[in-house]
A and B are shown apart, each in its own frame.
Chain A
Amino acid sequence: MTSMTVVEPGALSTIQDFGRPGQASLGIGRSGACDRGAHRLANALVGNHPTLASIEVTLGGLALRPNEDIVVATSGARCPGVPHLAPFRVPAGETLRLGLPPAGLRTYLAVRGGIDVPPVLGSRATDILSGLGPAVLAAGDVLPVGTSPRPVPGVDVAPVQEPTGDRLLVQVSPGPRRDWFDDEAWSLFTTQVYEVDSQSNRVGVRLTGESLPRLREGELVSEGMVRGAVQMPPSGLPVLFLADHPVTGGYPVIAYVDDLDVDRCAQLRPGQKVRFTTAHLH
């Protein structure tokens, strides 16, 4: 059987797919790839069905060695040392090494046939908040590779916009608790330049900047959220929720990031600048 051995896992590499939708009422979050578009593209480049699992690599550093020839492709953050946005072959016994990407945070490595670990509740995604799904990759892990009946598409290089280290402009709309903040606070929220904090992870992007005052004190009865929710804890500094967000939250959600922009936010690196806007970008 085809498999790959993890030689070095890098800072954080996890198996991901489109997660566990439709189970939030049981307290089970969706999880899955933080940058869904990049995951979908990596699969497409090797002829996989979009639902097969890929590896989400945070800041490069992953090294893998297959026991048989495999076809792989990477998307998302471009790692030096390997071709990007195009399928390529890794011969049996050779080590594939992903370098540190100069821009972007998450690289998706798809292998033809998908990572064939047993699904948990319908998905192979690792949810770092709930602990569901396969463990975070560690050196020595042997990852089974499945098979794909589809042909490898005849593309040379997929033309997509790649993540950059520039300031990111993100489209937002008022969230369910916009009214916990006055117009002045909302204006500060949509004009100031935030910086991505190093405490950010798959749960959410934590932002630092000028604190936003609230109109009301007290607690909110916890309520459901989806990815893209921008929650405002008592600190007045926003948290933008990504794939492993809690199913419900008790702090007011001031805004939602347009779903088309959440993937781009998943590529934000610590220290990078972000500005929210209500202008229509799409």
Chain B
Amino acid sequence: MRILPSGTRALLLELDSLEEVLAQYAALLNADLPVLDLVPAGRTILVVGDRDTDLRSLAAQLRTIAPGEHTARSGTPVEVPVRYDGADLADAADLLGCSPEELVRRHQEEEWTVAFCGFAPGFGYLAGSRFHWDTPRRSSPRTRVPAGSLALAGEFTGVYPRESPGGWQLIGHALVEVFDLDREPAALLVPGASVRFVESS
């Protein structure tokens, strides 16, 4: 783990893999640090202090925290009901070298973990562990991806919380809102949470 500078209020922890990020993030959440925010990403965790945080002693504290167990945080997975009716389902299956039926089966059997959020409020990047997911993005991104679209890109799957441009392969849509300001909490998919997708007829 490397600690990189990020201004007068924050430090950037750099790790070697997404697995290491998830494990370290789980440990940091339990460490009761004097911080305003922890922002996991693909290979890094941004640790944001407040006006009173001394970054030097925070860095020393961060070096003493051993990685945790990332599946420990949420015992029962969040179940997301979906329909696999996306416009790119056949293309995505081709790209992954399987049939659409096989893709749908693997996607439901996979034990997904929310690795991090970004791009838009409530947009979770979900990583799998049982199957190999490496889906190229569409060569030309869509200018409008409908809200609720279930999609694949790279090693991740995700659900678009609202209509936006996007280059992910659309394989279906979710039947629940992943980000709803009228719900508490608004975000359904939080970093570290386990997720299962369940086809709804």
What residues make up the interface of A, taking CB atoms closer than 8 Å to B? Answer: 21-28, 120-121, 130-132, 173-176, 221-226, 228-229, 246-248, 253, 256-260
Contacts and interface: CB of A to CB of B under 8 A. Distances in A.
A226 B42 contact: no
Contact of B120 (A130, A174, A258): A130
A26 B10 contact: no
Top 7 nearest A-B pairs (CB, nearest first) are A224-B46, A256-B7, A224-B39, A27-B117, A221-B42, A176-B4, A223-B44
Interface of B: 4-10, 12, 14, 36-46, 48, 116-124, 162, 181, 186-187, 190-191
Contacts, number: 114
A81 B38 CA distance: 44
Contacts of B14: 176
Residue of A22, A173, A176 contacting most chain B CB atoms (<10 Å): A176
A221 B8 CA distance: 23
A223 B9 contact: no
A24 B48 contact: yes
23 contacts: A25-B116, A25-B190, A25-B191, A26-B117, A26-B186, A26-B187, A27-B117, A27-B123, A28-B122, A174-B5, A176-B5, A221-B41, A221-B44, A223-B12, A223-B43, A224-B41, A224-B44, A226-B6, A226-B7, A228-B8, A229-B6, A247-B118, A256-B8
Contacts of A175: 5-7
Given A120-B181, A176-B12, A224-B46, A25 B40 contact: yes
Given A27-B123, A223-B12, A223-B44, A247 B39 contact: yes
A29 B6 CA distance: 17
B120 A27 contact: yes
A223 to B, nearest CB: 4
Contacts of A176: 4-6, 12, 14, 44
A248 B6 contact: no
Contact of A247 (B10, B36, B44, B117): B117
Contacts of A130: 120-121
B8 A26 contact: no
A130 B37 CA distance: 18
